[in-house]
Amino acid sequence: MQKLKVIFEDNHIIVVEKPVNIPSQGDKTGDRDMLTIIKDYIKERDNKPGNVYLGLIHRLDRPVGGVMVFAKTSKAAGRLSEQVREKIFQKTYLVIVNGKMEKEKGTLEDYLLKNERNNMSKVVKEGTKNSKFASLDYEVLKYDEEIDLSVLKIHLHTGRHHQIRVQLSSRNHSIYGDQKYGGRGHGKQIALWAYELSIKHPITKETITFKSIPEFIGSWKILEDIESIK
C-alpha cells in the first residue's frame, strides 16, 4: 500500500501531503491516484466494509507535491466546495524560478486561454474568446545570484489551468524543472510545491491552516536557510 503522510484528520476532513508525480484523481493513465490511495488507507485502517466516501475538493497538477484536503462526508464536501467558490479557501505555494524578479513583492494579472489539444495555457489579450482572468500575489524569499534562481511564495486569487506556471513563464521567470513552459533544469522535478492551505473547518467554522514543506534535497536545498517558511 502507498505510504501516506497524514497532516491532520478528524471525522469530517483528512489533510495529507501529496507526493510528486501522483494524480489527484484517476486519469487515463490508470496510475494510482490520491483519492484511491486515501480511500484504501481508511478502509484498511478502520476495517471498513464496502465503499469509503471521500470528496475531492481541489486538485494539484500531477508533478506537483504538497498539502491537500479531502472531505470524509458529503456535508463537509459541500461546505468546502462552497469555500472554494467564495474564495475563503486559500492556497499558497513555494516555487523556484529563473532569474531575479524586478520587485520583491507584486501582483500578476493576466487573461489565460487553455489549449485542450496540448493541455497548455497561454497569456492572451483581455476579451479573447474563452479566456479567463488570473491573479496571484508573489513575494521573493531569496535570490541566489550564483545560480540565478529565486524562491517565491505565491498566493493564488484564482485557480486557473497551469496558472502559476504560465504567468511566471510569460515574464521570463519560468519554473525550474518545468518542461512544458521552458524552465531550466531539463529532466529535473518541477520546483512547485503546495506549501500552505487555509480553510474554515466545515463543522466548527474555525479557521485552520496546514503546511507542508518539501524535503531539502535536489533543487529544494535552496530553502535550507529560509527561516520564514519553517
Mean pLDDT value across residues 69-75: 97
| Cα–Cα nearest to 145, from 191, 98, 186 | 98
Stretch among 107-111, 163-167, 193-197, 217-221 having the lowest mean pLDDT: 217-221
What is the C-alpha R_g of the chain?
A: 18
Residue 193 to residue 211: CA distance in whole angstroms: 11
Residue 31 — pLDDT band, cuts 50, 70, 90? confident
Residue 15 in this model has a pLDDT that exceeds 60 = yes
- Inform me whether the pLDDT recorded for 81 exceeds 70: yes
- For residue 186, pLDDT over 80 is answered with no
Question: Which pLDDT value is given to residue 152?
Answer: 98
Provide the pLDDT for residue 201.
Answer: 97
Whether the full predicted model's pTM is greater than 0.75, yes or no, is yes
* Minimum mean pLDDT range among 12-16, 59-63, 122-126, 205-209: 59-63
Query: Residue 49 CB: number of other CB atoms within 10 A?
Result: 7
How far from each other are the two terminal CA atoms of the chain, in whole angstroms?
30
- List the beta bridge partners of residue 140: 152
- Torsion angle, CA of 133/107/85/164, rounded to 10 degrees? 70
Domain boundaries, the chain: 5-229
Give the class (CATH, top level) of 5-229: alpha beta
Position 2 scores a pLDDT of 61
